[in-house]
């Protein structure tokens, strides 16, 4: 992926638009991260009004989007969902036909839905709009409980910050885990959030914060190779196992076991990219026990094998050092 077109339309949401700029538009070459040819495009060049009282001057029309490796669709106002600009939906259809990536943030999913390319696919949007999308597009399998969905080369994401999760997901696919972790560190965000939209729907904020469990999760990350039980972790947190499991789910949006499994995968990705360790050694270092178990978890989580992943993302410079 080398070229990115970010499509803005009248009534665009500045924050969601900014996510695409942050993820794909910044120069991070000083960190050894390749730059993208990132351009902002619109159907009618000129002043494009945002949804909060200012305009963005966009010089480029949609032509660049027809050659970009990634087309990002930012949100559009609710009153535009039933009459999406045909010029934009045509761009989306052509992008899908030629095998380009298409990524939407929040209600941008309605643009891609209007293009007809989500029929028979799984997708998501902001949980407040999921029922509307189901009614308008019954051929789409709308999942309101996740932060983002990848179906083929189309990625749809939920509201606001979930768009950043989707961007980082695509960057992991294209650049690998280590470079994406560097990008996330510069953004001061986690490279991978667990959980889904369900944790944000009509629920009060938990009384506790994840800071109370930070010493425990830090220790977990330092001891991935160990067989870590909830009883053992609860003891370190000075809680009962039941209280610890409940607190962990409230703070991290997932169970201790699921969070630990995800961290083990992330560490395996890092070792595959940066070292020439064999699969058995990596499996032991990450707490999977055997190469067979590592392969099973890798296939289930990432849809590929450790060997194929290493072939694509090996950091030869790091291995040589």
Residue 168: inside a domain: yes
Does residue 252 sit in the same domain as residue 292?
A: yes
| Both structure tokens of 114 | 């209007």
Alpha-carbon distance of 78 to 73, in angstroms, equals 15
Residue 265: inside a domain: yes
Query: Is the backbone of residue 27 left (phi > 0), alpha (psi -120 to 50) or beta?
Result: beta
CA distances from 83 to 98, 106, 115, 182 (A): 25, 17, 11, 40
Is residue 284 within 8 A of residue 320, CB to CB? The reply is: no
Residue 199: inside a domain: no
| Both structure tokens of 309 | 């992943």
Please state the domain count of the chain. 2
Residue 146 belongs to domain with CATH number: 3.40.50.880
Residue 192: inside a domain: no
Does residue 154 sit in the same domain as residue 213?
A: no
From the list 24, 45, 101, 95, the residue with the least C-alpha distance to 66 is 95
From the list 173, 209, 213, the residue with the least C-alpha distance to 191 is 173
Alpha-carbon distance of 101 to 51, in angstroms, equals 26
Distance from the first to the final alpha carbon of the chain: 27
Does residue 135 sit in the same domain as residue 216?
A: no
pLDDT at 180: 87
Does residue 22 sit in the same domain as residue 150?
A: yes
Does residue 173 sit in the same domain as residue 308?
A: no
Does residue 65 sit in the same domain as residue 210?
A: no
pLDDT at 190: 67
Confidence of residue 300 (pLDDT cuts 50, 70, 90): confident
pLDDT at 320: 36
pLDDT at 264: 92
Domain termination residue (choose one: 187, 212, 228): 187
The tokens 């560190």 sit on which residue? 185
Range of the domain at 248: 204-321
pLDDT digits 0-9 by tens, 217-233:
889 999 999 999 999 99
- The conformation of residue 110, written as its DSSP 8-state character, comes to H
Does residue 122 sit in the same domain as residue 241?
A: no
From the list 64, 141, 60, the residue with the least C-alpha distance to 95 is 64
- The conformation of residue 43, written as its DSSP 8-state character, comes to S
Angle (CA) 101 67 7, round 5° = 65
The average confidence (pLDDT) of the chain is 88
Confidence of residue 201 (pLDDT cuts 50, 70, 90): very low
Alpha-carbon distance of 31 to 28, in angstroms, equals 6
pTM for the full predicted model: 0.70
Does residue 16 sit in the same domain as residue 163?
A: yes
Residue 193: inside a domain: no
Does residue 208 sit in the same domain as residue 183?
A: no
Does residue 41 sit in the same domain as residue 182?
A: yes
Does residue 47 sit in the same domain as residue 153?
A: yes
pLDDT digits 0-9 by tens, 3-24:
999 999 999 999 999 999 999 9
pLDDT at 27: 94
């Amino acid at each position: 992926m080398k070229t990115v077109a970010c499509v803005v339309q009248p009534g665009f949401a500045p924050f969601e638009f900014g996510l695409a700029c942050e993820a794909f538009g910044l120069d991070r070459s000083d960190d050894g991260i390749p730059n993208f040819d990132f351009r902002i495009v619109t159907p009618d060049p000129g002043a494009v009004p945002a949804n909060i009282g200012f305009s963005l001057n966009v010089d480029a029309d949609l032509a660049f989007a027809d050659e970009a490796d990634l087309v990002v669709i930012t949100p559009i106002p609710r009153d535009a969902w039933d009459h999406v600009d045909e010029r934009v939906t045509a761009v989306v259809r052509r992008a899908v036909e030629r095998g380009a990536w298409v990524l939407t943030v929040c209600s941008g999913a309605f643009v891609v839905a209007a293009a007809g390319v989500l029929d028979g696919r799984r997708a998501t949007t902001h949980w407040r709009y999921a029922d509307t999308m189901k009614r308008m597009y019954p051929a789409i399998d709308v999942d309101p409980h996740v932060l983002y969905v990848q179906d083929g080369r189309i990625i749809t994401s939920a509201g606001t910050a979930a768009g950043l999760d989707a961007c980082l997901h695509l960057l992991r696919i294209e650049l690998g885990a280590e470079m994406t972790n560097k990008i996330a560190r510069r953004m001061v965000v986690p490279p991978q959030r667990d959980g889904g939209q369900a944790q944000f729907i009509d629920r009060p904020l938990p009384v506790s914060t994840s800071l109370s469990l930070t010493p425990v999760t830090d220790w977990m990350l330092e001891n991935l190779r160990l067989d870590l039980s909830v009883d053992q972790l609860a003891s370190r947190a000075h809680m009962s196992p039941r209280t610890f499991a409940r607190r962990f789910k409230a703070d991290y949006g997932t169970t201790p076991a699921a969070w630990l499994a995800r961290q083990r995968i992330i560490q395996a990705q890092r070792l595959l990219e940066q070292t020439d360790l064999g699969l058995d050694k990596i499996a032991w270092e990450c707490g999977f026990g055997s190469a067979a178990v590592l392969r099973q978890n890798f296939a289930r989580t990432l849809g590929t094998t450790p060997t194929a992943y290493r072939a694509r993302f090996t950091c030869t410079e790091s291995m040589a050092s």
